Amino acid sequence: MDVLQQKIHIHDYFFEHLQFDYSENILTVSLQSFEKSPRPACIRFYNVIGVKMSCCDFWGETKRIDCWYVEEEQGSVLLNDLVKERDLHNYDLSRLKDENKFFESTISVLSGDKVTVVCEYAIYEET
């Protein structure tokens, strides 16, 4: 399901694996449920133009996800930074021609770490 069309809660999951396919510009995040009956899931981010990640265990080591949210336009720090970089250097060949077709979302982990992704669309699937 398209993440912008539905409210999706991934609070009851562990962050398992992150894989980026550079040739296809697809980022896949694999999730594992910690409930009694496991429900693995994944989020695929398509036409990715930016990723920012921390992995410092700021608040202690854990892979449990706190929340996943879409940034409001004013709060889209990574997307705004990419647009500024494009404009500063006149990158005419960039895939970031129309910033309005991209959105920024962040997966926050209870350790205090975050993965922020700027992409065209994302799909959540229970596997």
pLDDT tops 80 at residue 38 = no
d(CA 57, CA 114): 10
Residue 37's pLDDT band (cuts 50, 70, 90): low
Q: What is the DSSP string of 45-70?
A: EES--EEEE--S-TT-S--BEEEEEE
The confidence score (pLDDT) of residue 4 equals: 59
The confidence score (pLDDT) of residue 123 equals: 93
* Cβ atoms < 10 Å from Cβ of 120: 15
Cβ distance 15 to 66 under 8 Å? no
Q: How far is CA 47 from the centre of its chain?
A: 12
Prediction pTM value: 0.89
d(CA 29, CA 82): 22
With a pLDDT cut of 70, the percent of the chain lying above it is 91
Using the structure block, give the residue that is written with the tokens 């077709």. Answer: 101
With a pLDDT cut of 90, the percent of the chain lying above it is 61
DSSP 81: H
The confidence score (pLDDT) of residue 1 equals: 44
